Structure 1
Amino acid sequence: MQDSSLGKRARPESHQEPSTQKDVRKTLEEARKRAQEAFKRSGLPSAPKASAASWSASAQNSTAPSSTSGRIGRSDTNTEREKIPTEIHPLLLGDAARIQEKIKSLAPKFASLQKKPGMPSNNTPARHAQQSAIKPTPTALQPSAATANPYLSETAQEDEPAPKRRSMHRALQFHRPGRYVMEAEQLRREEQMNALKERIQERARKAGMRDELVGDERALRREAPPEHEWWDIPLLPHTKSAESPHGSDSTVAQYPPTETQFEPTPAIDHLIQHPIPIPSPMGLLRVKPKGIMLTKQEMKKMRKQRRAAEQQDKRDRIKMGLLPPDPPKVKLSNLMRVLSSEAIADPTKVEARVRREVTARREQHERTNFERMLTDDQRQQRRMYKTKVEEDKGIWCQVYCIRHLVNPSHKFKVRKNAQQHHLGGIIITHPELALVVVEGSAKSLKAYKRLMLVRIDWNDLEMPEDTNKDQENDAFSTTNHLGSSQADVTPNRCELVFEGPVRERTFQGGIIRTEACPTEYKVKEMLGSNLTGYWEVAKQTLSTSQRD
């Protein structure tokens, strides 16, 4: 109410606008005097409570003469304080404010980088000192202009962040399509979830159950993991499972148990049981290092030197009298040179004696060789010993697939060479192909591989003319293999399907079985579950070779 009265008193009596700048100054001076007198009569403190920033902003809109001359007198009681400039409130200006606005509207409207004549510089020391001195205390009814509108503050305050500048070159940012649709769906889901929670709690209260669903985190709480998983139950001791719905024969490993109780046992503790390491079968093989490999010439030279050393040792023993000297080795060719006098005296008698000595030496040589010769049993034992030494180095397996195995000569070579090399395995004939599986030492399989891939001509399918009638019942007969009495004329070939080491023998060494299997089921039954893969790989290899 007091401000309105002051405004009415500040309004000039004459309503005519002054035509000169002098009248404007005079009117402003009178308005300031009346405002100062009214301020003294009000009894307010000498320091103004209004925001100095808002008054200084209105004062800067006026002309330069008015801003320089418009200063309010200081109170005598506050002479010790720093002189603070006080600007006139815009309401006290009256018609002068409208005149000033009209003068400003007549100014040219174009951009300029020059500073306005009435605008003080922010970088001057006096301005900084003035701003540090003027710190108005906002009242409860009217907040400061810097707090109400931070864009009016000329400098950024320390305790309040300045407004972020917006780049004029920033591209437009559009919302992603469907953003608000997704937010609306999320709100609907939350509402549905809250409704579900309320229904669950209501049913729990009606049923008399304890309210355990209080709180958002417990509304849809998952069950805690069980102490023992069902797949670990067969491995735990002292288990007592409930009756299974699948019958008495059902096991815990097949179906998850419904109720299981465990008795505390000392078998479960914090210790870790490490399995006992099993040595590799190849690590047990102890192969002797091979000696120095000599060429033929080096071997002959070593033999010659060894025999010379033995002969010299025998001569030394004869000289020392340890051995009797050898009788002269007389032949018909050196008879006259060795027995010259005796041969001249009685040549017939000497010739007969020399012939008897030659015959005796030949018989002695043959008898020595026969004694040194091995018997059939000893030869077989020697062969088995060598085979055993080779097999101790490791057992290897080879698998061959043949398009047609109908020639009796081929059948005999495949079977007989495997027996001679002490190989064990099986030969299976099928209308589509023939499968040969052999096991043995690496040295024996090396020779057998050359037989199967190099020595045998598999395209030679001609049957001998004197075929025995009993061959019709043979497992390798052409009728059983091809279903007719004549062989197929398609190109025949033998392919090596697999070659590698095996852990242990599947077939007995030295025994080759021959089986005729008209169906694939019979083939898999003969091979067993461990060797069924050989048949699948053989079929795939044969089909690939036929396409090529």
Structure 2
Amino acid sequence: MLTKEERKKIRRQNRAEAQKEQTEKIRLGLIAPPEPKVKMANLMRVLGTDAVQDPTKVEAHVRAQMAKRQKAHEETNAARKLTPEQRKEKKVKKLQEDTSNGVKVAVYGVADLRDPAKKFKIETNAKQLYMTGLIVAFKDCNCVVVEGGPKQQKKFKRLMLHRIKWGESSKRNKNVEDDDDESDEDDSGTNKINKYCQLVWEGEVTQRAFSDVRFKSCPTEAFAREQFRRHSVEHYWNLVYSNTILQASGMDTI
């Protein structure tokens, strides 16, 4: 891969070569020389005495030439412009990554996933990035597993650990959570619910375990574990569940 300076140098050399070739053709009489590029700023310098003899005629000629150049520029841009289908295909091609040599997997543990806005952000962003995975909600142990390429994982990781403010609540869910927080406070007045999102594990596997992104709300721990067992990735749930137990007991995770 060439550096930025090397690409600029090659482009400069190609332009100089093309200009040299055009100059040789003009010198040999094969093509007519281009008319001088006249603007209102260089009118007197380019045309000289002609501009003094009939200023009105010269100004009209210059403005017509400027309009002609502008029209040619707009037509070139319109011919190069992509159709809506081509733009969509380009965007999809940019987001999708080749995972034939390996799939990057990230497992996140979330303490509180009751906010509908946060659930929507996670699921929607995973689908927009063309990732696959599973989102399981179970009380204070919520597991988010996503599969994709390195760039997709980088964007999703920023969403989970930086963009989403886990300690904040949406307006429509704030009143409900305030009531829950009051009931979850101990005698000292501190909130027992620990709102956090933690990257429990990330690595690479040979193939995907999921075909799309799905959200599952599980009433029991056994039902949540079954969602992963169906795809032969029960160890993902074990990681998050054991990490949640360590968090609850106040121990540091390994």
TM range (shorter): 0.7 to 0.9
Residue from 84, 103, 107 that aligns with 1:376: 84
* Residues 44-443 of structure 1: pairs in structure 2 closer than 5 A: 291-292=1-2, 294=3, 296-386=4-94, 390-443=98-151
Q: Kindly tell me: are residues 380 and 386 of structure 1, through their superposed partners in 2, closer, same or farther at Cα, counting changes over 3 Å?
A: same
- Cα deviation for residue 514 of structure 1 reads 2.0
- Cα deviation for residue 394 of structure 1 reads 2.3
Residue from 184, 190, 196 that aligns with 1:493: 196
Note if contact 1:404-1:433 (Cα within 8 Å) is conserved in structure 2: yes
Q: TM-score with structure 1 length normalisation?
A: 0.40
- Cα deviation for residue 334 of structure 1 reads 0.7
Aligned-residue CA RMSD in angstroms? 2.9
Distance 1:543 1:312 in 2: 74
Distance 2:53 2:93 in 1: 60
Distance 2:116 2:34 in 1: 59
| Identity across the alignment (%) | 38
Query: Which residue is equivalent to 2:241?
Result: 539
- Cα deviation for residue 332 of structure 1 reads 0.6
More helix by share: 2
Residue-by-residue CA offset, 1:339-397 (whole Å, 9 max, x unaligned): 22332222122212222221221232122122212223213323444556522332222
Query: Which residue is equivalent to 2:169?
Result: 462
Q: Which sits farther off after the overlay, 382-391 or 364-373?
A: 382-391
Note if contact 1:401-1:538 (Cα within 8 Å) is conserved in structure 2: yes
Q: Kindly tell me: are residues 453 and 349 of structure 1, through their superposed partners in 2, closer, same or farther at Cα, counting changes over 3 Å?
A: same
Secondary structure (helix, strand or coil) at the match of 2:109 reads: strand
Distance 1:441 1:527 in 2: 21
Residue-by-residue CA offset, 1:44-90 (whole Å, 9 max, x unaligned): xxxxxxxxxxxxxxxxxxxxxxxxxxxxxxxxxxxxxxxxxxxxxxx
Query: Which residue is equivalent to 1:506?
Result: 209
Larger relative contact order (CA 8 Å, sep ≥ 6)? 2
Aligned length, in residue pairs: 240
Q: Kindly tell me: are residues 388 and 419 of structure 1, through their superposed partners in 2, closer, same or farther at Cα, counting changes over 3 Å?
A: closer
- Cα deviation for residue 496 of structure 1 reads 1.6
Q: TM-score with structure 2 length normalisation?
A: 0.79
Query: Which residue is equivalent to 1:6?
Result: none
Note if contact 1:390-1:442 (Cα within 8 Å) is conserved in structure 2: no
Secondary structure (helix, strand or coil) at the match of 2:165 reads: coil
Distance 2:5 2:203 in 1: 37
Note if contact 1:426-1:513 (Cα within 8 Å) is conserved in structure 2: yes
Residue from 221, 224, 229 that aligns with 1:523: 224
Distance 1:438 1:297 in 2: 38
Unaligned runs of 5+ in 1: 1-290, 472-476
Distance 2:75 2:101 in 1: 39
Q: Which amino acid in 1 is paired with 2:228?
A: L
Distance 1:414 1:334 in 2: 58
Q: Kindly tell me: are residues 423 and 543 of structure 1, through their superposed partners in 2, closer, same or farther at Cα, counting changes over 3 Å?
A: same
